[in-house]
Amino acid sequence: MMETRITSRKNPLIQQVRRLLTSRKERMQEGLFVADGTKLLEEAVRYYPGLTTVFLSDGVEADLPAHISVIRVPEEIMCYISPMETPQGALFLCKLPEEKAFAAHKGMLLLDGIQDPGNLGTILRTADALDVPVALLEGCADPYSHKVVRSSMGAVFRTQPVQTTWEQVRTECVAAGIPVAVTALSDRAQDIREAQLSAMAVVIGSEGRGVRPEILEQADAQLIIPMNAHCESLNAAVAATIVMWQMKN
């Protein structure tokens, strides 16, 4: 394992990390993303073949494969590059995976415009736990932003998020004979407890806007999660978890 030391904020690699943390465009151009924390590093070492470079604060050790580049930095540099208020002393770079083609599956979740990184990461974590396929439609947060990676608790290292378009989803689902249902607050929506979710692809929309109108219009069915009348809606991650649980039961 080769170890080098960096002590300057102006070092090009340090500056690259800063850009990768703040810019999706930079991540796409460089083919890299950043994750932070010792627990996530353990998950990446165990599950993700794209781990390339690890930054460690002085005094922090990690059990790493021999081919990984290790950059040793003083604590002040780790505080400079880490997005965490209290850095754990480990930050690392991974290669973005090759884009995976969308494939329609029964009992899958489709996410439309889920922009909150915490919600998206939580959904990906739950989907990984319940073994539910997930596809991200237009308008979703970058699944490889550090906030999504962190809130997914490393799920993106184990199960690659698929990014696609509604047009592609609709075409593939029609060809496969899989009905697409959307969660919606409407009079014609069916109680999810009475629907065969395991045979459907179900769309979850953003908390603020819900599912896009064109998807609502083209969907084969509408679903509703029963709740108290005085409750207007559920958090997107909570709604997705209820739908996924119902899919598996």
Instruction: Look up residue 13 and give its two tokens.
Output: 């690699």
Question: Are 120 and 220 within 8 A, CB to CB?
Answer: no
Q: What is the DSSP string of 103-157?
A: ---TTEEEEES---HHHHHHHHHHHHHHT--EEE-TTPPPTTSHHHHHHTTTHHH
Q: Which residues of the chain have pLDDT under 50?
A: none
Tell me, what's the pLDDT at 1? 64
Hunting for tokens 């407890």 — which residue is that? Answer: 193
Residue 5 vs residues 21, 71, 212, 225: alpha-carbon distances, Å: 21, 6, 49, 54
**Model confidence pLDDT, tens digit, residues 195-228:** 899 999 999 998 777 889 999 999 999 998 887 8
Distance (Å, whole) CA 3 – CA 143: 29
Tell me, what's the pLDDT at 118? 96
Q: What is the DSSP letter of 186?
A: S
| E-strand stretches of the chain | 3-5, 32-36, 51-57, 69-73, 90-95, 108-112, 134-136, 162-163, 180-183, 190-191, 201-205, 221-224
Tell me, what's the pLDDT at 151? 97
**Model confidence pLDDT, tens digit, residues 111-125:** 999 999 999 999 999
Tell me, what's the pLDDT at 16? 97
